Structure 1
């Protein structure tokens, strides 16, 4: 029976290239704990360190026929661990960026949705108060604010004096300011 613990890394590598399971097991026993400690120091996470070490050994066996040029098995395994750690950190950074972008997007969507809901509610309130104005006053007010007609144009269209139009618009604004409150009234003025 061959005792693999007596072989050098170079000899074990040559056996491993030929598919020798016992050589693979000896390499695993020699380096598993050392690689784990190294990975843990870099990552500070036991599970991630264990996963990375296992991935390296799985890859080692999967590609054992390609290891002909390896003269320093320890250096090769540490390099593999280093690259796996870099891949993991890069992947985590990308995930954090995606999560941050998604969070920002969701916050902006919620803000936009809140704004749209509030704007719609405000519009309904304003429209309701305009509809409650006396008929002639409402007609003059709507021509002034929504059709953007001048007092003179409204007076000619409705066959009333410009002074009447001016007074009706002024009274409508006063009624709306009292019913809607100052803030809503100012928003209304800015929009229309």
Structure 2
């Protein structure tokens, strides 16, 4: 039990560190936005929304709640009345589709939307 708690704490701290790093990148890039950068971000947003529309409704909803709503898999599972493992499978499927659809732009999308 002690090992489990230790591992959960380590995972939490690592995730927070990654999020803070991405927020720092976003703040830095927000201060240097040029019209070209703003246009490129708009294009990426459109491509992301197009890719998300291709997903089945339940997969898209789980992905959006997880990545844009900052909900945990357990919270999403309760809201959607499915198991957390099902949510995990939905997110995995969504990420694989997004990787395929946005393969050339995925690093930029990850930075913009903090999808990690």
Instruction: Compute the TM-score of the two structures, normalised by the length of structure 2.
Output: 0.66
After TM superposition, the structure 1 = structure 2 runs for residues 40-119 of structure 1, keeping only pairs within 5 Å, are 112-119=34-41
- CA deviation vs aligned residue, 1:72-121 (integer Å, no higher than 9, x gap): xxxxxxxxxxxxxxxxxxxxxxxxxxxxxxxxxxxxxxx70111111101
* Structure 1 gap segments, 5+ residues each: 1-110
1:118 and 1:157 mapped to 2: Cα distance?
35
Summarize deviations over 1:1-28 as a string: whole Å, max 9, x none: xxxxxxxxxxxxxxxxxxxxxxxxxxxx
Q: What residue in structure 2 maps to residue 150 of structure 1? A: 72
How far apart are 1:186 and its partner, in Å? 2.0
* Mapped partners of 1:190, 1:170: distance in 2: 19
Query: Does 2:105 align with 1:191?
Result: no
Larger Rg belongs to: 1
Partner in structure 2 of residue 123 of structure 1: 45
Output the CA distance in 2 between the equivalents of 1:190 and 1:174.
17
Residues 1:176 and 2:98 aligned together: yes
What is the rounded CA distance, in whole Å, between the counterparts of 1:129 and 1:185 in structure 2? Answer: 12
Q: CA RMSD in A?
A: 1.3
Runs of 4+ in 1 over 3 A off after TM superposition: none
Offset of residue 177 of structure 1: 0.2
Q: TM-score, normalised by structure 1?
A: 0.40
1:188 Cα deviation (Å)?
1.9
**Which structure 2 segments of 5+ residues have no match?**
1-32
Three-state SS of the structure 2 residue aligned to 1:168 is: helix
